Amino acid sequence: MKKSIILFLIFIMLFSISIFAFAEKATVEFPKEKAIRLVVPFGAGGGSDIASRVLASVAPEFIDQRIDVVCMPGAGGQEAINFVMQQPTDGYTLLMTDYGPFIMTALTEKVNYEFADWTPVFQIAEAVPTFFVHADSPIKSVEDWVKAAKAAPGSLTIAPGRYLSTPHLPLILFENLAGIEEKHVITTGGSEARAFVLGKKVDLGASFPSTLGPLIKSGDFRALGVCSEERVAALPDTPTMKECGYDVVLPAWMVVFAYKSESEENIKFLGEKFTEALNTVSAKALADKANVVLTPNTGEQLEHLYNQTIKNLKDILASVEK
C-alpha cells in the first residue's frame, strides 16, 4: 500500500515537471504578459522615485498593465543599470534615471555599456538645479556671490550634493564661466547639503526646488538662481542664471530608458501611451501634489535631448580636466 502511494506521488511530480519544462509559451501581446518594471538607481523617497510613482499611478489604465517601481541605489546607481542590462530585452524592464549615474559615470569611468545601447523611451519630468544660501547670509544675489568669491578665492564653501551629480555639474560650469574658485563639500546627497546650509556649516548649497520650496517659503533659505531657460513656477521670484549673465542651463531630466530593445514598436507604444497618461488632469494634479514638474517628451525630440546632453557633459568634463 505504502509503495503504491510513493509511486503515485513520484508520477505526479514527474508529470508536473514535464508540464513546466516542456509546455510551450503562448505569445502574448505587449505589454499584457507581465508587469512593467521601472528600475530607479536612487534610494526610495528621492525625486526620481516620486516622479516614477506619479507615472506608475496614472499610466496603467492607458497601457492596461501594472507598473512596478523598484529602487536599487547600490554602487552609485550601477547596480540598477547592471540589473536592467541582465534582464530580457523585451521591453518589460526599463531604467528610470537622470544623467548622473547613467551618463556621468560612463564618461568618468570604465563601464560595461555604450550610450548607443540605450534607447530613451519617455521623459517624465525635469528638475532644475538651484543655488541657495541661508537667509542670514550676507550673499543676497548671484552678483554678491561672485564678488565674495573673487574677494577671497577658495574661501567660500558650497555643498552641491554628490560628486558630479546633477546639482554639482552646473556649479562647475558656473565657476568656469564666472572665473571663481570655491571649496566643494561633497555630501551624501541633497538632504545633507540642505542640513549643512541650515546649520550654517557651509556658505552655499545646490539642490532642487521641490525640496527647497518649504524652507524658502518659511524664510530659512534664499534661492539665488536657477539653471534653466526660464524661471521655475515653484520659485517665481528667483532669476535664472542666464538672467544674471551666466549661460548655465542644465536641467536634470528624468528619462525612462530601454536597453537593446528588441522592438521599436513597443518603445513607440509606451512613449505614446505615457504621453497621453501624463497629459491628463489627474496626472497634473498628482504631480502638483508631489512637487514634480512634468515634461512629457518622446520620440525624436527626446533622442535629440539625450544626444545633446551627452555632448554637453563631455564638454563640461573636458573643462574640469583642464
Partner 1 sequence: MDILLVAIHNAFSASVILYTAFGVFLGVTIGAIPGLSGDIGIALLLPFVYKVAPACSLGMMLGIYKGSIFGGSITAILFGIPGTPAAAATVEDGYKAKLNGHPQQALLTALYSSVTGDIFSDMVLIFLAIPMAGIALNFGPVEFFALYIFALMLISLLTRGKAVKGLASGVIGLIICAIGMDPMLGTPRLNFGIEQLRGGISLIPVLVGIFAVSELIIQFSKEWHDIITKKLEKIDQQGTFSKYNIDKDKMSMKIYFSNLKATMIGALTGTFIGALPGAGSSIAAYVSYGLARRFSKHAEKFGHGSLEGIAAPEAGNNATCGATFIPLFAFGIPGSGIAAIFGAALIMQGITPGPTMISENTLIIYTLFVTLIYANFINLGISRLLLPLYARVSMMKTRYLIPAIFIIALLGTYTSRNSVIDIWVLLIAGILGVVLKKNDFPLGPLVLGYIIGPGMERSLRQALIIGGEDRFFLFKSPIAIGLYVATIVFLLLIYKVVKKSDKNL
Partner 2 sequence: MNKVTIKKYLTYDRISGLSLIILGIIGSSHIIFSGKWGKNLGLGAKFMPQIYFILILITGILLLIKKGEGDKPQGIVIFVNIRSVLLFIGLGILYFLFVLKVGLIISTVIYTLSLYSLLTNNPLKNRKQICISSTIVTIIVLTLFEIMLHIVLPIPLLF
Q: Which residues bind partner 2 (CB under 8 A)?
A: 17, 20-21, 70, 86, 88, 163, 184, 186
Q: Is 17 exposed, middle or buried (0-12, 13-18, 19+ CB in 10 A)?
A: exposed
Between 114 and 321, CB nearer to partner 2: 321
Interatomic CA distance for residues 129 and 152, integer angstroms: 25
Please report, for residues 22, 191, 220, the alpha-carbon distance to residue 194 in angstroms, rounded to integers and kept in the order given.
Answer: 57, 5, 11
236 is in the binding site of which of partner 1, partner 2, none (Cβ under 5 to 8 A by kind)?
A: none
Q: Should residue 316 be labelled a site residue for partner 1 when binding is judged by CB under 8 A?
A: no
Residue 49 sits in the site that holds partner 1 (CB under 8 A): yes
62 binds partner 1 (CB under 8 A): no
Minimum distance between the CB of residue 20 and partner 2, rounded to whole angstroms?
5
Region 185-244 residues binding partner 1, contact defined as CB under 8 A: 185-188, 191-192, 194-196, 198-199, 201-202, 211, 213-215, 217-218, 220
d(C-alpha 34, C-alpha 140), whole Å: 53
Q: Which stretch binds partner 1 (CB under 8 A): 8-16, 153-161, 255-263, 276-284?
A: 153-161
* Number of chain positions touching partner 1 (CB under 8 A): 53
CB of 183 to partner 2, least distance (A): 9
- The three-state secondary structure class of 71 is strand
The least distance separating partner 1 from the CB of residue 290, rounded to whole angstroms, comes to: 5
- How far apart CA 27 and CA 37 sit, in angstroms, is 20
Q: What is the DSSP string of 197-231?
A: HHTTSSSEEEE-HHHHHHHHHTTSEEEEEE-SSS-
Torsional sign, CA 67, 29, 257, 117: positive
Residues of span 1-20 touching partner 1 by CB under 8 A: none
* Alpha carbon 81 to its chain's center: 13
State the DSSP string of 244-308.
Answer: TT------EEEEEEEES-S-HHHHHHHHHHHHHHHTSHHHHHHHHHTT--EEEE-HHHHHHHHHH
Smallest distance from partner 2 to CB 40, Å:
14
Q: Strands 183-184 and 157-159, how do they pair?
A: parallel
What, of partner 2, partner 1, none, does residue 60 touch, CB below 5 to 8 Å by kind? none
Interface with partner 1, residue 85, by CB under 8 A: no
**For residue 169, what is the DSSP state?**
H
Binding partner at 201 among partner 2, partner 1, none, C-beta below 5 to 8 Å by kind: partner 1
Closer Cβ to partner 2, 33 or 272, answer by number: 33
Residue 285 or 318: the one with the smaller Cβ distance to partner 1 is 285
As to burial, measured by CB atoms within 10 angstroms (0-12 exposed, 13-18 middle, 19+ buried), residue 73 is: middle
Please choose which of partner 1, partner 2, none residue 21 contacts, taking the beta carbon within 5 to 8 angstroms, the exact cut-off set by kind.
partner 2
Residues of this chain that interact with partner 1 (CB under 8 A) are: 43-46, 49-50, 53, 56-57, 68-69, 71-72, 74-76, 78-79, 83, 105, 109, 112, 154-155, 157, 162-163, 183-188, 191-192, 194-196, 198-199, 201-202, 211, 213-215, 217-218, 220, 286, 289-291
